[in-house]
Structure 1
Amino acid sequence: MGLPKSLHCVVLELDGEDIGMGRIVGDGALSVQIVDIVVRPEYHGKGYGRLIVQALSDYIASNIPDTAYVNLLADVPANRLYEKFGFRETAPATIGMAYKKGSE
């Protein structure tokens, strides 16, 4: 349901098999978020995550205004990968927060 509403999607294939993906959501002008970066476990540590983030970063560089706010939430240790693309922690000025419907 969410994939068709994405601003941009990348699927990484190897020998005809989907092994990873990532996508960008947002309005494409003021705010975009990189989400759902995933690589199948048997392909971890081989640079495929970096290829996905590079493709998403290239899309942002070519299609999103420089004034837009680009963000992501990073699980540790993936934060080290995103730092290579210029992402920095925003705490303590900004704190990531989450709300899961039905958990209140």
Structure 2
Amino acid sequence: MKEQYMITHEPPNPVDYNNLRLEGGMSGKSREASEEGLKNSLFVVCVYDEETFIGMGRVIGDGGTFFQVVDIVVKPGYQGQGLGKLIMEHIMNFLEKHTYPDSYVSLIADGSADKLYKQFGFSYTYPKSRGMYRKY
């Protein structure tokens, strides 16, 4: 992995955020929803190659009882270089410092991303529980 990647904990601008999500194969979000969501994040980690926004991840939730890891995405041309793991390391450092013994941290693993998340101690909720969603 390139040593000169820049890591920030500041949210990206909503347009860059949405473009990275789309390029990474995730769904698009409206500018309004992106602005609101990004500003209400508990924690953000962004990775840049000079000026190019190449990866990110966020933690959302209530800051006490529930935390959710979301938006783990790396620009396709940069995948396979350990950047997802780097993003998760920053997220796990945040969670170690800001969660409580009874806090619940969840995430949704798309595709084969479960292999990454297992490295950080995440396990399946099934069959005890099943993730559900409702999209507006």
TM-score range, shorter chain: over 0.9
Deviation string, structure 1 residues 34-82 (Cα, Å, up to 9, x no partner): 0000100000111000000110011000111121000000012011000
Corresponding residue for residue 23 of structure 1? 58
2:117 aligned counterpart, secondary structure: helix
Moved over 3 A (4+): none
Task: Calculate the aligned-residue CA RMSD, in Å.
Answer: 0.8
1:100 aligned counterpart, secondary structure: coil
Choose from 51, 70, 79 the match for 2:105. Answer: 70
Looking at structure 2, the residues matched to 66 and 56 of structure 1 have their Cα atoms a distance apart, in angstroms, of: 17
Choose from 30, 34, 51 the match for 2:69. Answer: 34
Corresponding residue for residue 88 of structure 1? 123
1:47 partnered with 2:82: yes
1:14 Cα deviation after fit: 1.9
**TM-score, L = length of structure 2:** 0.72
1:24 Cα deviation after fit: 0.3
Structure 1 counterpart of 2:133, which letter? A
2:89 aligned counterpart, secondary structure: helix
Looking at structure 2, the residues matched to 14 and 52 of structure 1 have their Cα atoms a distance apart, in angstroms, of: 14
Looking at structure 1, the residues matched to 42 and 111 of structure 2 have their Cα atoms a distance apart, in angstroms, of: 25
| Identical-residue share of aligned pairs (%) | 42
Structure 1 gap segments, 5+ residues each: none
Structure 1 counterpart of 2:104, which letter? Y
Corresponding residue for residue 20 of structure 2? none
Looking at structure 1, the residues matched to 111 and 118 of structure 2 have their Cα atoms a distance apart, in angstroms, of: 12
